[in-house]
């Protein structure tokens, strides 16, 4: 059967009202991380798992932070669709109560409507429609609801992968947008530059060496810094963010120390070592011009390696063909953000990210998702899953 025929079957079996009821009950249950408390959703998740006939495995590092893996089928290959149950705090500026969802002009409002509860509801509704269509398949479908995405996934995806969860493919409905799927993510390295000077009285700055001024000569180049390194052309160039600066003791003392913290995002093809080498070369250049410069590189405190799904991946092909067949315009790109797709990819599980977003409403007040986009995603994801497991 052709993909568009399959998608038509799934569309006709998709129950929009059930999907929205599930989404409303998800938003109404506060799972702000920290602390998360995703266990509060237990009954709701288990009811949905039962409705799709999934065999449920619960993997928890902490009983209040469960991860639900619902298994349908037994064969190969296996495809997981993984959404998270936690949300960021509501913050200020909401027109309505963030945990009392409502519908207005084809949109559902509430904290988590998009990120990531809408996606959880859409992936469930899509799988349910697929099963209702009576289409036979050989492989295994994993419908997953995980904890702790917003604070680093130590209790979530990181933990289930550590415990041996290893599907052949994964869909992560948590980045990209309705017409953009993400096939790779940059890496990140956070580290300090520490500048040393010589203290003296503020009335005689010429007698000291100002550590702040010395390091400012270096970081003033960082707005548009050319790393002059080769990398995978599917990525945008590496970037530097000067995130924090601290230094000095008083207005009337020449600053003898200054610390600058950087967040460097870099593509596949570049390594952390190359970044650090490039940075120390830059310091050397400055030292040659000014022998009073004493800037040292600190240890990398946060690191994420870059990743990209292989070009010939069946996952990308299935996504591409399905989107095309059902008439959804779709670009495939890389991003500088970091999602659980990275954890999966770096553990040997090709994972693509895509989402129903069209207006970048993540983490803002009056977060919303378009119902129409949830329906499109439900059909697309279920069709892609079917294409892989058929
Ligand atoms: Zn998210």
374 lies in the same domain as 259: no
What is the distance in A from the centroid of ligand 1 to the CA of 175? 7
What is the distance in A from the centroid of ligand 1 to the CA of 333? 18
284 lies in the same domain as 321: no
Residue 274 sits in a domain whose CATH number is 3.30.70.360
Residue 44 sits in a domain whose CATH number is 3.40.630.10
Query: Total structural domains in the chain?
Result: 2
What is the distance in A from the centroid of ligand 1 to the CA of 150? 6
Q: What per-residue confidence (pLDDT) applies to 144?
A: 98
Q: What per-residue confidence (pLDDT) applies to 335?
A: 96
What is the distance in A from the centroid of ligand 1 to the CA of 181? 15
What is the distance in A from the centroid of ligand 1 to the CA of 215? 36
* Full-model pTM: 0.92
Q: What per-residue confidence (pLDDT) applies to 311?
A: 85
Ramachandran assignment for 93, one of left (phi > 0), alpha (psi -120 to 50 degrees), beta (any other)? left
What is the distance in A from the centroid of ligand 1 to the CA of 224? 30
What is the distance in A from the centroid of ligand 1 to the CA of 355? 10
What is the distance in A from the centroid of ligand 1 to the CA of 273? 30
203 lies in the same domain as 142: no
DSSP string, 17-32: HHHHHHHHHHHHS--B
Q: What per-residue confidence (pLDDT) applies to 252?
A: 98
CA distance 186 to 214: 30
316 lies in the same domain as 272: no
361 lies in the same domain as 298: no
Q: What per-residue confidence (pLDDT) applies to 312?
A: 85
What is the distance in A from the centroid of ligand 1 to the CA of 116? 5
Least Cα distance to 59 among 153, 171, 175, 169 occurs for 153
CA distance 327 to 3: 11
Q: What per-residue confidence (pLDDT) applies to 365?
A: 97
What is the distance in A from the centroid of ligand 1 to the CA of 362? 8
What is the distance in A from the centroid of ligand 1 to the CA of 149? 7
Strand arrangement of the beta sheet that strand 187-196 belongs to: 239-247, 257-266, 187-196, 295-304
What is the distance in A from the centroid of ligand 1 to the CA of 363? 9
Q: Which domain holds residue 151?
A: 3-185+306-389
Strand ranges, E, within the chain: 55-60, 66-72, 78-84, 102-104, 107-109, 140-146, 169-172, 180-185, 187-196, 239-247, 257-266, 295-304, 307-308, 331-335, 351-353, 368-370
| CB-based neighbours (< 5 A) of ligand 1, an ion | 115-116, 174
What is the distance in A from the centroid of ligand 1 to the CA of 148? 10
| 317-349 pLDDT, tens digit each | 999 999 999 999 999 999 999 999 999 999 999
Calculate ∠ Cα 89-93-97, nearest 5°: 70
141 lies in the same domain as 192: no
What is the distance in A from the centroid of ligand 1 to the CA of 84? 7
159 lies in the same domain as 210: no
262 lies in the same domain as 355: no
Residue that finishes a domain, picked among 304, 331, 359: 304
CA distance 52 to 318: 23
What is the distance in A from the centroid of ligand 1 to the CA of 32? 12
254 lies in the same domain as 357: no
286 lies in the same domain as 368: no
pLDDT along the chain (390 residues), means of 10: 94 98 98 97 98 98 98 97 97 97 98 98 98 96 97 96 98 97 97 98 97 97 93 96 96 98 97 97 97 97 95 94 96 94 97 97 97 98 97
Q: What per-residue confidence (pLDDT) applies to 388?
A: 97
Residue that finishes a domain, picked among 252, 270, 304: 304
What is the distance in A from the centroid of ligand 1 to the CA of 356? 12
What is the distance in A from the centroid of ligand 1 to the CA of 339? 8
293 lies in the same domain as 159: no
What is the distance in A from the centroid of ligand 1 to the CA of 158? 15
22 lies in the same domain as 126: yes
What is the distance in A from the centroid of ligand 1 to the CA of 226? 32
Residue that finishes a domain, picked among 251, 269, 304: 304
- Distance linking the first and last C-alpha atoms of the chain: 10
């Amino acid at each position: 059967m052709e993909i568009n025929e399959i998608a038509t079957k799934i569309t006709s079996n998709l129950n929009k009202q059930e999907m929205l009821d599930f989404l409303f009950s998800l938003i109404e249950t506060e799972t702000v991380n920290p602390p998360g408390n995703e266990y509060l959703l237990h009954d709701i998740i288990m009811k949905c798992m039962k409705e799709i006939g999934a065999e449920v495995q619960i993997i928890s590092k902490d009983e209040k932070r469960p991860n639900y893996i619902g298994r349908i089928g037994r064969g190969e290959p296996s495809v997981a669709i993984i959404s998270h149950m936690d949300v960021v705090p509501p913050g200020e500026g909401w027109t309505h109560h963030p945990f009392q969802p409502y519908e207005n002009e084809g949109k559902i409002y509430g904290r988590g409507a998009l990120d990531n509860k809408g996606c959880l509801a859409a992936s469930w509704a899509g799988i349910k429609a697929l099963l209702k269509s009576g289409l036979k398949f050989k492989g295994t479908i994993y419908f997953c609801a995980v904890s702790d995405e917003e604070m680093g996934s130590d209790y979530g995806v990181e933990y289930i992968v550590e415990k041996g969860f290893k599907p052949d493919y994964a869909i992560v409905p948590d980045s990209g947008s309705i017409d953009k799927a993400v096939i790779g993510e940059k890496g990140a390295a956070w580290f300090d530059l520490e500048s040393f000077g010589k203290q003296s009285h503020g009335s005689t700055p010429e007698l000291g060496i100002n550590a702040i001024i010395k390091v400012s000569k270096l970081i003033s180049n960082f707005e548009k810094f050319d790393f002059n390194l080769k990398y995978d052309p599917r990525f945008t160039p590496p970037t530097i963010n000067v995130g924090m600066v601290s230094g000095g003791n008083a207005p009337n003392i020449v600053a003898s120390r200054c610390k600058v913290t950087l967040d460097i995002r870099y593509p596949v093809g570049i390594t952390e070592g190359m970044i650090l080498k490039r940075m120390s070369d830059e310091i050397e250049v400055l030292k040659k011009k000014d022998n009073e410069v004493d800037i040292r590189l600190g240890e990398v405190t946060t690191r994420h390696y870059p990743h990209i799904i292989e070009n010939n991946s069946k996952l990308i092909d299935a996504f591409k063909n399905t989107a095309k067949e059902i008439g959804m315009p779709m670009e495939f790109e890389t991003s500088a953000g970091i999602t659980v797709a990275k954890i999966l990819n770096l553990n040997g599980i090709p994972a693509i990210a895509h989402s129903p977003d069209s207006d970048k409403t993540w983490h803002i007040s009056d977060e919303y998702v378009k119902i129409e986009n949830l329906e499109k995603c439900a059909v697309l994801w279920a069709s892609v899953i079917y294409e892989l497991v058929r």
